[in-house]
Amino acid sequence: MSTIVDDRGLDCQLDLFAPERWPKRPYCSDDLERGLRIRSLAQALTKPYIQANPPHLRVWSIHDCDYPGAAIAWESAGLPPPTWATVNRQNAHAHLVWGLSAPVLVDGLGARDAPMRYLAAIESYMRERLRADPGYTGLITKNPMHPLWRVLRGPRLAYELHELAEWLPGLEKHRPYRRPEEVGLGRNVLIFDQTRHWAYRAVRQYWGGGLRGWNAWLSICNYKALEYNGNLLYPLDEREVWHIAKSVAKWVWRHFTPQALAELIKNTHTSEVQRNRRLSDGRKRFIEEMDAA
């Protein structure tokens, strides 16, 4: 059986970090307890924790195995060698990562249900076989370029989904009956989108100081994110929900200000804009009446 080897050579790392396979501005962190930051890919690659998958895409299938000897768990699980394994030097826990030859769009315009469910089934079955953490979403992983981790490199950069499926007999029973993003695929994106759409309107109630200032806003954002998270079949870890809520709260607080709203109203409520809007509404009603006739 193929094995993975310890290898930090620059040449073998170049293909791992092809720009099209990573976010342009990923989340990253020196310490997850202190939260996440968005940085350029070059800057993020200097941090021990990094966002591997671009927004809305699954390029890397990442599994968090929290037990000693996790780096070789793929062998006993009857799976092909991962693209890489990043191993904690202190306890031998590891993240095992399989690259996907054809990335799967998991959210947004153009996302197709069948590939998402196929990938969700594969990842669910792999997670079960690996005894990996079912609550881990794959948003943040141990950076294989960082010296904090021991890195084991596999023989292949990526696999086709059908190649992974060949190692997983009985895959059909793992297909999700709920939406893929509710069973592990893109849950962080789902919570992020739900929270930010709510926040755009809600922030106006928290402008000003006193009990309606920043601290109250941050608290209510976290509460709403946790509320949305509670609707999932497999909720995210509360710390990850906190990171999402904090990110939304900071961005909305910075950009949705009373001054910004006043400027928006000024630019969208001029007499010319209002006139064009009325004309547009009139044309729409005319077309609807013609269609009805």
d(CA 71, CA 244) in angstroms, rounded, equals 29
Number of structural domains found in the chain: 3
CA 131 to chain centre: 21
Tell whether 166 and 192 lie within a shared domain.
no
User: Which of 116, 150, 179 marks a domain boundary?
Assistant: 179
What is the model's pLDDT at position 292?
A: 52
Does residue 290 register a pLDDT over 50? no
**Residue 30 DSSP one-character state:** S
CATH of the domain at 192: 1.10.340.50
Tell whether 17 and 131 lie within a shared domain.
yes
What is the model's pLDDT at position 282?
A: 53
Give pLDDT tens digits for 185-208. 667 778 888 899 999 989 988 887
Tell whether 62 and 102 lie within a shared domain.
yes
Structure tokens at 222: 């976290």
User: Which of 160, 179, 198 marks a domain boundary?
Assistant: 179
- Residue 268 sits in which domain range? 261-292
- C-beta atoms surrounding 274 within 10 Å: 11
Tell whether 60 and 202 lie within a shared domain.
no
**φ, ψ (nearest 5 deg) of residue 185:** -105, 105
Tell whether 155 and 212 lie within a shared domain.
no
Tell whether 171 and 119 lie within a shared domain.
yes
Tell whether 132 and 208 lie within a shared domain.
no
Q: How many residues does the chain have?
A: 293
- C-beta atoms surrounding 2 within 10 Å: 9
Tell whether 37 and 126 lie within a shared domain.
yes
What is the model's pLDDT at position 281?
A: 56
Q: pLDDT band for 285, please (50, 70, 90 cuts).
A: low
User: Which of 147, 179, 211 marks a domain boundary?
Assistant: 179
Residue 144 φ/ψ region, left for φ over 0, alpha for ψ in the -120 to 50 degree band, beta for the rest? alpha
d(CA 172, CA 106) in angstroms, rounded, equals 19
Q: At what angle do helices 187-202 and 238-255 cross, to 10 degrees?
A: 40
Tell whether 167 and 23 lie within a shared domain.
yes
Amino acid identity of residue 85, one-letter, is A
Tell whether 10 and 105 lie within a shared domain.
yes
Chain mean pLDDT for the chain? 81
Instruction: List all residues 6 or more positions away from 106 whose beta carbon is below 8 Å from its beta carbon.
Output: 56, 57, 58, 116, 119, 180, 181, 185, 186, 189
Tell whether 121 and 220 lie within a shared domain.
no
User: pTM for the full model?
Assistant: 0.65
Tell whether 9 and 138 lie within a shared domain.
yes
Residue with tokens 């209510």: 220
